[in-house]
Amino acid sequence: MNQSENEVILEKEWSFWRIGMMVSVLVGIGIGMIAFFTFRDGSGRASVPVVKPTPFSTLIVVPSPRTELVTPYARLVSERLYHISDKILVDIYAATGNQEVVELTLILTYDPQVLEVNADNIKNAGVFKTINADTKEPGKLILTLFITPTVGHKPIVLHQETKLATVQFKPLVAQQGRVEVNLEYSKGNSQFTTLTPFSSDRPEKPINLLESVEGAVFTIE
């Protein structure tokens, strides 16, 4: 074998060695990238970010009742702290259990020297078809939410606590102590806050299904 043939053989062996080294390097890089992204993905799943509320968030957390309520019930829900320049929003919630109802009348009482309400700022959540508001007497708001069976409205059943309306109050003074918006209620008495059962015939004596109620308590700074 002459020198030129030896050079050709050596050149081919060198080429095969280089190709093998390149393949090994590429495989190593690929394995490294796979390991990197797998670790990053795994570490991302292990650390769950805390979701912070944003103005566009649809998640609404309703605070639990301050007292133990018995169904059927109605209650008022509001923030705990307001500033004198804020709009005070008081939501009305109710649960009827398995009871079919036609009307809910709420008598809200408040201090007229601390709070002011405008009937035009009361919003119906749409569960009951109609809402009427009476603000004639200072310190008292009478809200009646009802459906009309004679025009085909179906009875209302609230198996779970459901928002029915929102009342907007205007603060008149800063109040460092408790500010209360209460519900006038007497069990079984239809002269106060009353939940009326659905019936095809109008009963001779009004029936109040409510077993319990709860008002709202907050502070205005």
Domain definitions of the chain by residue range: 1-49, 73-220
Structure tokens at 130: 């109609």
29 strand-pairing partners: none
Nearest to 192 by CA among 105, 112, 119: 105
The answer to whether the beta carbons of residues 150 and 123 sit under 8 Å apart is no
At the topology level of CATH, where does 73-220 sit? Immunoglobulin-like (2.60.40)
pLDDT at residue 15, as a whole number: 56
Q: What is the DSSP letter of 71?
A: S
The answer to whether the beta carbons of residues 176 and 121 sit under 8 Å apart is no
Residues 6+ apart with CB under 8 A from 109: 139, 140, 141, 181, 182, 183, 184
HSE toward the beta carbon, residue 115, CA cutoff 13 A = 28
Whether the predicted model's global pTM rises above the 0.85 cut = no
Phi, psi (degrees; rounded to nearest 5) at 17: -65, -40
The answer to whether the beta carbons of residues 109 and 181 sit under 8 Å apart is yes
Mean per-residue pLDDT, 69-95: 97
Mean per-residue pLDDT, 42-55: 34
| DSSP H or E run through 81 | strand 81-82
Asked if residue 218 has pLDDT above 60, the reply is yes
Q: 3: pLDDT confidence band, cut at 50, 70 and 90?
A: very low
Rounded CA separation 6/188 (Å): 112
What is the per-residue pLDDT across 107-159, written as a single tens digit (0 to 9) for each? 999 999 999 999 999 999 999 999 999 999 999 999 999 999 989 899 999 99
Rounded CA separation 8/194 (Å): 105
| DSSP H or E run through 168 | strand 162-171
